Structure 1
Amino acid sequence: MQVSTLIPWYLVKFLANKHKIVFLSIYATYMLICNGANKNATLYNLVYFLFAPTLIYRHNYPRTKKINWRAVISYFLQFIGTIFCMFATIRRFVANNYASSGIEPFNAKTLLSSLLVTGCLGMSLMFLGWYGLLQCWLNGWAEMLRFADRMFYDEWWTSSQFSKYFRKWNLVVSDWLHTYLYQPINDVRIC
C-alpha cells in the first residue's frame, strides 16, 4: 500500500523536473534567437561548441595561436592517471573494508571505522574527480581546440562561505547557471 501511494508522487516529481528542463531549453533557445546568437550559425560553430569546454554558445571564442601537443598529451595522460588512482582507491578501500559487511557482527567500533574510511575515501575521490575533470580533461580539450579562456575554476579552497565555494569550484556550470537561469529570472521579475 505504501509503494502504491509513492508512485504517483514520484510521477509528479518526474513530470515537474521534465517540465523544468523543457522550459529551460525553450527559454534558452528563445534567448539565443532574441540576442541574435544563431544568425549565420554553421555546422562548424555547432561542432566546435559541442567539443569546446564551455556550456555557453558563442559564435567566436577567444583562441590561441597554436596547439601545444605536449600539453595536450600531458593533460590526457594525467586524466588517465587520475582515473587509475580513483579505481585503485575504490578497489583498495571499498573491496577490502566492505567485503565482510553482513557476515561479521556490526558494532560501534566497526561503524566508526567505516565512517572514517568512507569519509576519507569520499574526500580523496572528490579531489581526484575535480582534478581529473576540471583541470586535466577541460584543459586538454581547450589546448587541442585552441580555446583561450581556461578559467574553469577559481580559488575555491580559500572560500569561507559555502555560497562562495559553490560559485568558485566549477565556473563552467556557474556561468551557465548565471546566463540561462539566474539572469532570465532576474530580467522577468516584476518590481
Structure 2
Amino acid sequence: RECFGLVVHFINLATMLTFPAAVVLMVPSMTPVGGAVALGTYTILFLKLYSYKDVNLWCRELSTIKVKKLVRSLSCPLPQLSQGDGHKVCYPGNLTIRDMYYFVSAPTLCYELNFPRSPGVRMSFLLRRLFEMLFFTQLLVGLIQQWMIPIIRSSMKPLEDMDLSRMTERLLRLAVPNHLLWLMFFYWFFHSSMNFTAELLCFGDRQFYRDWWNSESVTYFWQNWNIPVHKWCLRHFYKPLLRRGFGKMASQSAVFLLSAFFHEYLVSVPLRMFRLWAFMGMMAQLPLAWFVGRFLRGNYGNAAVWMSIIIGQPVAVLMYVHDYYVINYRQETD
C-alpha cells in the first residue's frame, strides 16, 4: 500500500512538471513571460510537495520505530494546529487540508509540522512592502522597455555579423541595466514580496537571504542568495545523497546539475527553443567555484563573484535573445 502511494505521488509530481510545459509549448497564444510565470509557479509547488512527502515519510518511519520499541508514539489524538499558545502539532495530526494549504501559501519550500509564527500582522510593515512591490514592478517594466530592449535590439546586427569589437561593446552596455534590474528584482522578490506574504500569514521565519554580496567564494554566494532553495537542496537532495554513500564532490555536482535543469526548464520551455545556455552557465559554476576557492581569497574572491554575476548574465541574455530573434523574426523578415 505504501509503495502504491509513493508511485501515485511521483506520478503527480511528474505531471506538475510535464503538463504545464506541454501546454506552454502547444498553445501559440502563450507568451514567454506568461509561460515563465506559470512554470515557475508549478516548479515551486513541485518542490513544496516533494518536501511534504519526505517530512511525513520521516515522521511515519520514526513513529513506527518508537512504537516497536514500546516508546510513546509521535501521534497526537487531535489534528490541532499550533496557535502559538504552547500546543504543538504531531504526526498524523498535521495531515489536514488547512495545514497543507498554509504550507503551499507560506514563503518556504521546506515543510515542517510546526512553523515559527509571529504574534500578529503589522499593518505599517505590510503597507510598506506592498508599496515597494508596486513601485518596483512599475520601475522594472519601465527600465526594461526604455533601457534594456533598445540595447538588445541594437546588438542583433553585430551578433549576426560576428563583429567581435561591437559585440563586446554591446555586452558591456547591456551589463549595466541587466545588473541593475537583477538587483531590483532580487529586492522585489526576496525582500518585498516574500516578507509581504510572510506578514499576511504570520510566518515567523524571515531569513530569505543572507549577505551574499560579501561572498568571497562562489559556493558562499549560492548558499546565501536564495535561502529557501538552498535549504531545500540541502535537506532533500544533498544530505540524502551523502547518506546513500555518495561523496561530497559528487553530491555538490548533483545539486548543481539539478539546479541547471530547472534553470534551463524555466527559460527554454517558455521561449520554445532548447539551446542549453542556462544549463551550461550553471554547470560552469563548478569549475569557477573550484578556481575561486583555490586561487583567490578575500577581496579578490569577492571581485570574481561580482564579475561572474555582472558579465555572465548579459552573455546568457544575448545568446537567448539572439536565438529567439533568429527563430521568430528573421525568418518572417526573409
Q: Under TM normalisation by the shorter chain, which class is it?
A: 0.7 to 0.9
Q: Deviations over 1:9-46 (max 9, x none)?
A: xxxxxxxx98xx99xx7797255323248612111111
Q: Report the alpha carbon displacement of residue 71 of structure 1 after superposing the two structures with TM.
A: 1.3
Check the 8 A contact 1:93/1:117 in 2, yes or no. no
Are 2:225 and 1:169 aligned?
A: yes
Q: Report the alpha carbon displacement of residue 60 of structure 1 after superposing the two structures with TM.
A: 1.6
Check the 8 A contact 2:148/2:178 in 1, yes or no. no
Any stretches of 5+ residues in structure 1 without a counterpart? 1-16
Instruction: Please give the secondary structure, in 1, of the residue aligned with 2:111.
Output: coil
Instruction: Please give the secondary structure, in 2, of the residue aligned with 1:35.
Output: helix
Aligned CA distance change for structure 1 residues 38 and 184 (closer, same or farther; 3 Å): farther
Deviates more, 1:179-188 or 1:99-108: 99-108
Report the counterpart of residue 61 of structure 1 in structure 2: 115
Are 2:239 and 1:183 aligned?
A: yes
Check the 8 A contact 1:69/1:144 in 2, yes or no. no
Report the counterpart of residue 8 of structure 1 in structure 2: none
Check the 8 A contact 1:28/1:180 in 2, yes or no. no
Are 2:201 and 1:148 aligned?
A: no
Q: Deviations over 1:160-187 (max 9, x none)?
A: 0000111011111100111110111112
Report the counterpart of residue 7 of structure 1 in structure 2: none
Report the counterpart of residue 93 of structure 1 in structure 2: 147
1:52 and 1:26 mapped to 2: Cα distance?
Answer: 15
1:34 corresponds to which of 58, 63, 70: 58
Aligned CA distance change for structure 1 residues 95 and 112 (closer, same or farther; 3 Å): same
Report the counterpart of residue 116 of structure 1 in structure 2: 172
1:73 and 1:150 mapped to 2: Cα distance?
Answer: 17
Check the 8 A contact 2:212/2:220 in 1, yes or no. yes
Are 2:212 and 1:159 aligned?
A: no
Q: Any residues of structure 2 matched to 1:8-87 within 5 Å, and which?
A: 29-36=53-60, 39-40=92-93, 41-87=95-141
Check the 8 A contact 2:209/2:224 in 1, yes or no. yes
AA matched with 1:39: P
AA matched with 2:92: K
Instruction: Please give the secondary structure, in 2, of the residue aligned with 1:71.
Output: helix
Report the counterpart of residue 276 of structure 2 in structure 1: none
Please give the TM-score of this superposition, normalised by the length of structure 1.
0.77
Any stretches of 5+ residues in structure 2 without a counterpart? 1-16, 19-42, 61-89, 248-334
AA matched with 2:56: L
Greater share of helix: 2
Q: Deviations over 1:110-141 (max 9, x none)?
A: 43331112111221121111111110011001
Report the counterpart of residue 4 of structure 1 in structure 2: none
AA matched with 1:83: T
Name segments (4+ residues, structure 1) moved above 6 Å.
25-28, 103-106
AA matched with 1:50: V
Check the 8 A contact 2:151/2:174 in 1, yes or no. no
1:44 and 1:34 mapped to 2: Cα distance?
Answer: 21
